[in-house]
Amino acid sequence: MPSESIQRDHVDHVLELLARAPDDIDDFLSTLSGSDVIHTMFSLSEADRKDVLIALEAATAAEFIEDVPDPIAADLIEALPSEDAASIMAELPSDERADVLAEVEADDLERILSAMPDASAADAREFMAFEAASAGGLMVREYLAFQATTSAGEALNTLTDSSLDLSRFALRYAYVLDEDKTLIGVVRTKNLVNLAPATPLSTEMQLPTLINVGADLTTCDESLAESEDVSLPVVDDRGRMLGVLPRSNVDQALVEKAEDDHLKSQGILNEELRSMPLNTRAGRRLSWLSINVFLNLIAASVIAAFEDTLAAVITLAVFLPIVSDMSGCSGNQAVAVSMRELTLGVTGTRDALRVWWQEIKVGLINGLALGALLGIAAYLWKGSLGLSLVVAMALGLNTVIAVSIGGTVPILLKRFGIDPAVASGPLLTTVTDMCGFFLVLSIATLTLDSIVLPA
């Protein structure tokens, strides 16, 4: 990673070129690594970044657009004139083009599509109809397709034709289609050189492993793992070939999903970079934090309702965060398992009762163990059997509650069309805090006379 001064020099040089020789920006950016280009571009003001994108060759701009998250790329494209945006879109691979356009606002989308060639626009519209995290959304349209009567020599001539740009094609396999574009076989391209030039592909092709265009991300991952191929042909319900699903696209989608879920759990609901307008960034975060204020006020109100108990046995205040935090940890484990099972398809939206019962059993065992440990610690510290029983019972019961909520809430949220990654975290935290505070203080209130602390 270059030093801050070197990175600042990059930015200054781009601004200088933008002012006096915009056509030279391409050559300068080609000397930088991909990460340096991204850092330089996002160190520019929004207006300068737009001007640089317009000044760049469409292919160079497309390389940059391809390296940034799709929602950010969409924001950049929306700001450009229609012709410039359309030119950049034309340089992107078919799958990436559809992913970016899917994030573009409706009015800007129509404006950009209208400026694209009819065939490219139609292809993009068809691509965008597929779920982003499905075989259709992850496939590429650039692949080698031949008829069964095509000879090995003719196929090799296509591969070596200098007039064709095959740089973005999936070249490991040649796919053999009939007249209706139904996939009937596949040939490894490396095997073509060993064949007599006149050999028809039909004599060398093998039956392919197929994947349906509607397959979800988990199915795509499992199908590729089972086939041990680096890509799979994607077909519709009638067996017609639509594209190729590369292993790299599936791996990238899995990583992005994990990152997205993590960000959502922390209250970052949309892609955010610090180069975005301040009001946008602050507003997105504030919408989440404002909800948390009210949720925490609910939890705090439980403590306020037991002020007399806390005043009588102030030591209880030490154990309130321990009970809520330990229960929250147990609940988060249950959330993680449910999220994973939902992703794998092991658990469905109708399995809430089954999941709840399974978590109850785990919660009882772990609640007893954790409660006993905390009770022993409380007794060793204060020498009060009453105090140790209160905190032990509170932690044990709250653990059962936490795993019940953690296990079932993601399933129920998904059933009602709410993203579990967004809502599970704050809901679990607030409820476990509230229940933990209530259990400690209510049990202590009922057994106040038994809590005798040594002088």
Looking at 84, 109, 133, the residue that finishes a domain is 133
Interstrand relation of 183-188 and 211-212 (parallel, antiparallel or unpaired): unpaired
Statement: residue 97 has pLDDT above 70: yes
Within a domain: 255: no
Closest CA to 37 of 49, 21, 19, 47: 49
Count of domains for the chain? 3
399 and 355 inside one domain: yes
pLDDT in tens, 26-50: 999 989 888 888 888 888 888 899 9
**pLDDT of amino acid 203:** 87
- pLDDT, one tens digit per residue, over 153-188 is 888 888 877 666 666 677 788 889 988 889 998 888
Q: How many angstroms separate the CA atoms of 354 and 348, rounded? A: 10
10 and 103 assigned to the same domain? yes
Of residues 139, 158, 137, 138, the one with CA closest to residue 147 = 158
176 Cα distance to chain centroid: 34
Q: pLDDT (tens digit, 9 = 90+) per residue, 375-396? A: 999 889 888 888 888 888 888 8
Q: Is 129 found in the same domain as 142?
A: no
What is the reported pLDDT for 288? 62
Backbone angles phi, psi at 451, to 5 degrees: -90, 95
Is residue 315's pLDDT more than 70? yes
* Of the listed ranges 12-21, 62-71, 205-214, 340-349, the one predicted with least confidence: 340-349
Q: What is the pLDDT of residue 51?
A: 93
51 and 157 together in one domain: no
CATH number of the domain enclosing 70 = 1.25.60.10
- Verify that 218 and 347 share a domain, yes or no: no
Give a yes or no: residue 271 inside a domain.
no
Q: Look at residue 15 and tell me if it is in a domain.
A: yes
Assess whether pLDDT exceeds 80 at residue 310. no
Q: Is residue 87 scored above 90 in pLDDT?
A: yes
Please report the pLDDT score of residue 46 as a whole number: 87
Q: Which residue has the higher pLDDT, 79 or 93?
A: 79
Q: Let me know whether 147 and 109 are in one domain.
A: no
pLDDT confidence band for 211 (50 / 70 / 90): very high
- Residues 333 and 410: their CA atoms lie apart, in Å, by 12
pLDDT at 364: 93
Domain edge (last residue) among 224, 247, 270: 247
- Residues 421, 385 share a domain: yes
Q: Collect all residues with Cβ–Cβ distance below 8 Å to 157 and sequence separation of at least 6.
A: none
Tell me: do 184 and 118 sit in the same domain: no
Q: What angle do CA 339, 337, 270 make, to 5 degrees?
A: 30
Residues 294 and 414 in one domain: yes
Q: What is the pTM of this model?
A: 0.59
Backbone angles phi, psi at 261, to 5 degrees: -65, -40
Q: Looking at the structure, do residues 142 and 127 belong to the same domain, yes or no?
A: no
Looking at the fold, whether 295 and 337 belong to one and the same domain comes out as yes
Residues 47, 182 within the same domain: no
Contact 408, 395 (CB under 8 A): no
> Which CATH number characterizes residue 156's domain?
3.10.580.10
Does some domain include residue 266? no
Residues 374 and 29: their CA atoms lie apart, in Å, by: 60
Residue 174, strand partner residues: 144, 187
Domain that holds residue 149: 138-247
* Residue 438: pLDDT band with limits 50, 70, 90: confident
Nearest alpha-carbon partner for 192 in 157, 152, 161, 160: 152
